[in-house]
Structure 1
Amino acid sequence: MSTHPARGLSRVLDDLGPSLLDLLLGDPASVTGIGGVGIHDPHDEQHYPERAVVLGVGVHGTEETARLMRSLTGVGAAALVVRGPVDTADLEAVAEETGIALLALTRGASWAQLAAMLRTLLSEGDVGGTDEQTLGGVPAGDLFALANAIATLLDAPITIEDRRSRILAFSGRQDEADPARVASILARRVPERYLRLHEEHGVFKELYRTDRPVHIPPPTLGDEVALPRVAIAVRAGDEVLGSVWAALREPLTEEREEAFKEAAKLVALHMLRFRAGADAENRLRADLVTTALEGGPGAVAALGRLGLADEPLLVLAMGLGATSATGGDHARRAAERQRLASALAVHLTAVQPRS
């Protein structure tokens, strides 16, 4: 396995949790310099990258997990991922003893999905690397390229939508669809009248209940002419990220239905990568705010990049109360901090859009 540049567990959790990973034990801020991904195989000699995140495929129970954590100290592993649920009560002492962070693969997520996302994330910015990262042969996070690939696969125009029916990306050939699709593309979201129809007919309930493509008859709205749809939910573990919709003139063959199902798994990887890019923008903004608050020569430039230079400012600070620093607390506090930050951001943006 190749060695990757230094990455921290906090960054991994920011980008992949809670869709794929849950922190069980350990302080993510102290786990830095992650070198790559390793897969545990009890029947083969192990060669892990330096400071690896080890995937404990097939590891079950407290005793087996503790034994593996202790053995990983000899190879310098940084973290171990096991399939949840995990009883952490008897593992806290082991985590303290070994210094290895323990994470759980989210219920419903696949090891292959996690390995692909970890390798993509940890390989960003490889020294001397000039090749663009790809997932399934498509540039990572390029949902438009992926939509076109699926459109070719199904021979139908495609949209990729989030949970709120906002259009994240669409393929070419939308002129072959119908006025409903054109209206959705122009507004970058599905019109309310069509959403109401789908809700009345239980489309979303069925869509999020199954991992198979769902066939939707054309909506009836006055004199509008519409095509049938086939849609499939996009999942990362138990989290529904969104859906993919195809406007069809002919029913899908059995082979194309299977291809559509497999394509949805690839869309999940790209949507996670796409979301990671948005998270990176948020991290940059947080870094600029920190620089501005610290003062010094970089403060003025940071305020300029934030669009807040030469204006009166009011600084509000919010924090969580002190608590013990056990592994479980780190996970709970990280989740609570994120919830509070999001709620405060929504409130401040409503009051002052430039907040």
Structure 2
Amino acid sequence: MPRGFTFDPAEQSIPRMNEILIIGGGILGATLARELARRGARPVIVDADTPDRRTSLGSLGWLNASSTADMGYAQLRRASMELWHALKDAHPDCPAFFPGALLWGDDAGAVRAQEERMNALGWAALALDRAALEARIPGLNAPEAALLLPREGYADPARITDWMTAQALAAGAWLIRGLVETVEAGRVTLASGEQLEAAKTVICAGNATGDLLASAGIDVPLRQSPGILMRTAPLPIQLPCVMATPKLDLWQGADGAVLMSSSLAKTPERADDLMASDAAAALRALVPGLTEAPVVEVTRRNRPIPKDGFPIVGPSGLDGVWLAVTHSGMTLAPVIAEALADNLTGQPARHDLGRYGLGRDWASPHERAAL
């Protein structure tokens, strides 16, 4: 079969024996496939290709490293952000953008203290007062102060996942359309009954990760968090960077549409139209000159969060089976992919992810990761 081939079990015979299977074609699976294929491996992505199962589509796509609660985790996020920037430098067509991010603050002193902490950790930050914010973004209902993080940015989850997948296929990965029902050492079974054998398997299946390993008697301590995104029609405003405000996190794309998540996502039982109406009102309050902000799309996904808030990456407990699951898949995809690819191909490890293994002491007190 040619490299870079896409198999549909309904139309073609699928390969039985594979070098590396990747279960899940979201941002983690696609980025890992790209990394492995670039190294000369032949990864095979197995993905159902049903948008309702794609966990990544519940993410705002904010690429950030502003967490400082846990130093090790902060360093991991910054390492991944550097990989994002290197990727963009090497591939200008990559649909990841870095216009910076503004974190709202109500207390100028607290914002300046955060500025000092971030700069001391090597992550550029600049405190801006209300006058500076209004000069930077005319028409903004600015807070007393905000923190500008100039190296942060965003990527539309669907576009960046498609781009990573295309890159992986071009480098020699294969893609099988199918839903995985069970995982065993050396073999997975699809809903169609087809069985695939593999020397190595990596589960990057988001919320389905726990169910797939539970069938083998392995507990993955995950909970789910509702991800509710709203996309507006193109708007006659210019929001030049990612904004994290008390009611909305958002960014505006080149087409003028705004993608936003709302604090109301914590009440997922609210109907889509009420959620959209409240978010649109919050956006109009943020930019008072905006008379209308019609929401044209509401996307709901449950997103996985490991019990302690940190990623779970590494061996699963099944021979030859690894897993990668995290709440911050968009930001962490490059560093997780690089670390797993080092492990899977026997190369020296550039990132020590030992503390993020499934076998860690879940009963011990962890400082909760900033999500």
Q: TM-score, normalised on structure 1?
A: 0.27
More helix by share: 1
More strand by share: 2
Larger radius of gyration: 1
Larger RCO of the pair (alpha carbons < 8 Å, separation 6+): 2
